[in-house]
Amino acid sequence: MLRASLTALVLCAGTAAAAEMRVEDAASRIATPAAQAGALYMRIFNETGQDDRLLAARSDAAAETQLHVSAQDAGGVMRMTPVEDGLPVAAGEVLTLESGGAHVMLMGLERPLPETAAVTLIFERAGEVRLDVPLTVGMSDGHAGH
């Protein structure tokens, strides 16, 4: 399994430079100034020409960065769980990270809170994609959690 992914990365490094993962509308939600954790949302356009999978993310703005999915449990309560096998994004498709769905979770936010989080998305085939996401406290939809 590990060997297969490494081979894919090496093959991928030789492909055209124009193909890319394009990220739009990156935003954050941190409920309160004292919150220990925050969520990042964005849209990821797979313009690499090949099916891929978002495996993980990391950031300098938090002690730990995880991929989560939110879903209602049997009792109707929204819960979030870590993504285990990555989030698939087929060639030409869009992976949307949004409130109530999949998101990047920053756990153990740095203090003082940086204005911007440098985030690295790690894809199975496209490798690492870096972006900066502004960190904003208290988005106005009245949701205390996410």
Binding positions for Cu ion, rule: CB under 5 A: 68, 80, 105
Only one residue has tokens 């949302």, namely 41
Nearer to Cu ion, 19 or 43 (CB): 43
Q: CB of 44: closest distance to Cu ion in angstroms? A: 17
Q: CB of 6: closest distance to Cu ion in angstroms? A: 29
Return the DSSP state at 114. Answer: P
Q: CB of 52: closest distance to Cu ion in angstroms? A: 22
Q: What is the rounded distance in angstroms from the CA atom of residue 102 to the CA atom of residue 83?
A: 8
Q: CB of 51: closest distance to Cu ion in angstroms? A: 25
Nearer to Cu ion, 80 or 89 (CB): 80
Task: Compute the residue count for the chain.
Answer: 146
Return the DSSP state at 105. Answer: E
> 40 forms bridges with which residues in the sheet?
28, 104
Nearer to Cu ion, 48 or 66 (CB): 66
Q: How many CB atoms lie within 10 A of CB 93?
A: 13
Nearer to Cu ion, 62 or 89 (CB): 62
